[in-house]
Structure 1
Amino acid sequence: MVTLNAAGRLAGRSCVVTGAASGIGRAVAERFVREGASVVATDLDAEGLRRLAGRFPDAVSTVVGDVAREEDARRMVRAAVERHGRLDVLVANAGVIPLMEITEATAEDWDQVMAVDGRGMFLTCKYAIEAMTAQERPGGSIVCLSSISGEAGQRGQAVYGPAKFVASGLTKHLAVEWADRGIRVNAVAPGTIATERVARLREEPGGTEYLEAIEKLHPMRRLGDPAEVAAAVLFLASDDASFITGAVLPVDGGYLAQ
């Protein structure tokens, strides 16, 4: 586990983190709280959200919902505005990660991934931008979760990878569209990160072999830690990145440098 010291870089900020019940989203929510933020954590996993809020009862409130449903996405953003008076940061993290070749995938698989990873990111960004432009002091920061699969091709990612190209593309277009109104939009592109989902691969046929192979493809020869991704998200969300927008920052142990 990576341990990083807090410096209060988000003190007083109102933040929404989607997909916050586990993995990278939970690590981001935890890091934001330690940096002074008030966090609205959202997910479909009510129990995971309950555990997170139980650890930070004064700083974390929760919304159970599906980012792919328009009313749920709107409700997530509205919760931050109603509870904290404004929205300063959105981390659009919620997503699903199926691993399959195109001959195995069905149209339903495609639709599910695009609904969550594509439509869900679009909706949460849309309502966040509406809130950020309407508030008394307009502006804010959005960080989208892309992937190395949203920057380069990989085997077994014919469904997931294109959805992450959506994340990278949406980031760049929104950055240009809203820069003059004080909204920065950036993304991180993680390599393979040791989340709960990745750990479960070892229980699936061929999963252990897949992970051994994917580790070797990262020049640092290891998987990343969710806290390492959270540190990059924090940087992009904070004033330390005040002149950065439209960037897709790899957090990948050198994978995309090859």
Structure 2
Amino acid sequence: MHNQQKVVVITGASQGIGAGLVKAFVDRNYRVVANSRSIKPSSYPDVTVVPGDIAERTVAERIIAEALSRFGRIDTLVNNAGIFVAKPFTAYTKEDYGNVLSVNLDGFYNITQLAIAEMEKQRSGHVINVTASLVDNAIDGVPSVLAALTKGGLNAATKSLAIEYARRGIRVNAVAPGIIKTPMHAPETHEALGGLHPVGRMGEISDIAEAAIYLDTAPFVTGEILHIDGGQSAGH
């Protein structure tokens, strides 16, 4: 195993944090299976792309099948796909609710269940869930109930799975970002969003990618919710 390139599956991999994760793992000689609804073919020879909505079980099955067919194993799964809808609680629609839960929870459930089943066969593996710092530290003026409901649930699931699989060679951790400088945030909002962090600035995509790499190379760490949030989790 140690002489083989490790294989990582990354969801939500087409842009922003997901694209940064793909590059970070490729730079460290991993083979990557990358998924998102809008993903384009990759120029990296060790990256296989599988387009599709991770909320659909058949898409998760295709991702796992492609990883095994192309690379023969799955060492790490990074559950990065997610939707954030910032609306007052009473303004959420039935469609908002369904969309957020389908990607954030169904997507996690589908791919993680299948990936862990393969990891059990090799008695090793690692799952990293990308959640959100704000589920533990609500911010006035940033409505986030559906994020709290889903990403907070993933934090709890991270610890539960870590204990369930600790003696089977499988680790489970989470990265909980603060507000990260991605294309979803217009440049004119950066100063205000940066001010929501005690350090006075937004995080960078590389901060999240480096946290994921750290967790993947830390064999004694499991059940950890690693806050990469410029101090938000410490207080305001």
The interval holding the TM-score normalised by the smaller chain is over 0.9
Please name the residue that 2:59 is paired with: 72
Deviation (angstroms), 1:72: 0.6
Normalising by the residue count of structure 2, what TM-score does the alignment of the two structures yield? Answer: 0.93
8 Å contact from structure 2 (residues 174, 225) kept in 1: yes
Q: Corresponding residue for 1:150? A: 135
Q: Which amino acid aligns with 2:29?
A: G
> Structure 2: which amino acid aligns with 1:19?
G
For residues 117 and 252 of structure 1, what CA distance do their matches in structure 2 show? 20
Moved over 3 A (4+): 211-214
Superposition pairs for residues 10-159 of structure 1, below 5 Å?
12-46=5-39, 49-50=40-41, 53-54=42-43, 56=44, 58-134=45-121, 137-154=122-139, 155-159=142-146
Aligned-residue identity in percent? 35
**What are the residue-to-residue correspondences of 1:209-248 with 2, within 5 Å?**
212-238=191-217, 241-248=218-225
Normalising by structure 1, report the TM-score.
0.85
**Equivalent AA in structure 2 for residue 40 of structure 1:** V
> Aligned partners of 1:10, 1:156: CA distance in 2, in Å?
47
Separation in 2 of the partners of 1:132 and 1:213?
43
Q: How many residues align?
A: 232
CA contact (8 A) 2:191 2:201 kept: no
5+ residue gaps, structure 1: 1-8, 203-207
Counterparts of 1:114 and 1:245 in 2: how far apart (Å)? Answer: 25
Superposed CA RMSD: 1.7
Is 1:150–1:166's contact at 8 Å kept on the other side of the alignment?
Answer: no
2:133 maps to amino acid:
I
1:28 partner SS: helix
Of residues 215, 218, 228, the one that matches 1:251 is: 228
Distance 1:60 1:237 in 2: 18
Deviation at 1:179, TM superposition (A): 0.8
> Which blocks of at least 5 consecutive residues in structure 2 are unaligned?
none
